[in-house]
Amino acid sequence: MTETGTRRDRTRAATVREITATARLILVKEGPDAVTLRAIARRMGMTAPALYRYFGSHQELLRHVVGDLFNELTDEVQAAIRQTPSGDLKERFMHASFAFRDWALTHQREYTLVFGTPIVRGETLDFTDECGQRFGRTFVELFLELWKSKPFPVLADADIEPALTVQMERYRGEVGSPDLPIGAMVVFLSCWIRLQGFVTLEVFGQMGFALDDSSPMFHLLLMDLADRLGLH
């Protein structure tokens, strides 16, 4: 992560970082509605229009913050994976899942910003999209590792709906593992959906009707998933 370019480029990059950091600070301390251009600028000793030198719009600025948050989350999960001996894949999976949930719960407003804003999939990938893909790859690679180390039982190709098969084949091509059974892709995806679905409901407070501490329920989920992935 070494700085490059002219001096001007460097100070400019520093300002961009300060802007996104300030935006996040306000997000955390005062909530999403308080993250206005004027509030950001005020806290930086600037005026709002100056921010347009760095971002085309308020939306674009927020998208950039989302990218940064994706990167932080990805780093956190990858650190959890690396800190676990590569021999114990079950532990790796558990720690990675816990790291994801922990980050979500300790950064609820950030999580809401990242995953709670329905984003239409644009044509070309921007910075934010790339950060999101990097995050996605982190869990994909973990699952691939699990499969390669010890394949688990999956549905046979013939038992999977064609409409699902064709989508899984496309996605399998994207992650670059052409020899993986379609059934394994299905297991990966449904496990991920269960994991992210759970965490999302948690952060959005949708479990409060029954639970005030969802940790034991999450623990149960992880046991279930580990089982499904043949980890004992």
Partner DNA sequence: TTAGCAAGTTAACACCGTTCATTATCGTGA
Partner DNA sequence: TCACGATAATGAACGGTGTTAACTTGCTAA
Q: What does the binding site for a second copy look like in residue numbers (CB under 8 A)?
A: 108, 112, 115-116, 118-121, 132-133, 136, 161, 163-164, 167-168, 171, 186, 189-190, 193-194, 196-198, 200-201, 203-213, 215-217, 219-221, 224
Cβ atoms of 160 and 185 closer than 8 Å: no
Minimal CA–CA distance to 103: which of 200, 36, 186? 200
150 touches, from a second copy, DNA, none (C-beta below 5 to 8 Å by class): none
Q: What part of residues 53-112 is at the interface with DNA (CB under 7 A)?
A: 53-54, 57-59
Residue range at the interface with DNA (CB under 7 A); choices 9-17, 68-76, 82-90, 112-120? 9-17
**Burial (CB count <10 Å: 0-12, 13-18, 19+), residue 7:** exposed
Does 190 sit near DNA (CB under 7 A)?
Answer: no
Whichever of 9 and 173 has its CB closer to a second copy, that residue is 173
Report DSSP letters for 94-163, one per residue. Answer: HHHHHHHHHHHHHTHHHHHHHHSS-----SS--HHHHHHHHHHHHHHHHHHHHHHHS------GGGS-HH
Site mask for DNA (CB under 7 A), range 16-55, x = bound: -------------------xxxxx-x---xxxxxx-xxx-
Write down the least CB distance from residue 2 to a second copy, Å: 31
Q: On the CB side of 28, how many CA atoms lie within 13 Å of its CA?
A: 12
Please state, in angstroms and rounded to a whole number, the distance separating the CA atoms of residues 188 and 191.
Answer: 5
Please state, in angstroms and rounded to a whole number, the distance separating the CA atoms of residues 57 and 63.
Answer: 10
Write down the least CB distance from residue 43 to DNA, Å: 11
Whichever of 7 and 170 has its CB closer to DNA, that residue is 7
Whichever of 55 and 198 has its CB closer to a second copy, that residue is 198
Cβ atoms of 229 and 93 closer than 8 Å: yes
Minimal CA–CA distance to 228: which of 198, 196, 183? 183
Write down the least CB distance from residue 61 to a second copy, Å: 16
Whichever of 15 and 71 has its CB closer to a second copy, that residue is 71
Whichever of 78 and 133 has its CB closer to a second copy, that residue is 133
Cβ atoms of 171 and 200 closer than 8 Å: no
Write down the least CB distance from residue 211 to a second copy, Å: 5
Whichever of 28 and 79 has its CB closer to DNA, that residue is 28
Please state, in angstroms and rounded to a whole number, the distance separating the CA atoms of residues 170 and 99.
Answer: 29
Write down the least CB distance from residue 14 to a second copy, Å: 32
